[in-house]
Amino acid sequence: DSGVTQTPKHLITATGQRVTLRCSPRSGDLSVYWYQQSLDQGLQFLIQYYNGEERAKGNILERFSAQQFPDLHSELNLSSLELGDSALYFCASSIREGLYGYTFGSGTRLTVV
């Protein structure tokens, strides 16, 4: 157990639907990062939060949004889902804004049918 908890582990949903993925960072970590891993694109950075504030954005679609709450857990919201959104979504956390002491969660596998 890495200390970073992601729920759910698996999610199957239909096109057009909306889902929320949840991430609880390791205790003491203030930064949360979201990544998408699809078969054709590999791992891609989506978005980073630090202590509740958005810090960096990567290749995140407008249909996707995220937030980090006062208790430091984060949620990634994916809406108007398309087949191509099927992927593994990873959350990672680190104690600071920089990429030190970096720990990944086990991921949420999203399947859009």
Partner 1 sequence: KNEVEQSPQNLTAQEGEFITINCSYSVGISALHWLQQHPGGGIVSLFMLSSGKKKHGRLIATINIQEKHSSLHITASHPRDSAVYICAVIPYGQNFVFGPGTRLSVLP
- In angstroms, rounded to a whole number, what is the distance separating the alpha carbons of residues 90 and 23? 9
Residue 86 lies near partner 1 (rule: CB under 8 A): no
Residue 89 lies near partner 1 (rule: CB under 8 A): no
Residue 12 lies near partner 1 (rule: CB under 8 A): no
Place of tokens 């859009």: 112
Q: How far is CA 30 from CA 3, 47, 90, in A?
A: 13, 14, 16
Cβ-contact 89, 77 below 8 angstroms? no
Which tokens go with 39?
């078969």
Q: Judged by CB under 8 A, which of 21, 25, 26, 33 binds partner 1?
A: 33
Number of residues that bind partner 1 (CB under 8 A): 21
Residue 99 lies near partner 1 (rule: CB under 8 A): yes
Q: Judged by CB under 8 A, which of 43, 84, 111, 113 binds partner 1?
A: 43
Per-residue x/- mask for partner 1, residues 50 to 69, rule CB under 8 A?
Answer: ------x-x-----------
Which tokens go with 106?
């086990």
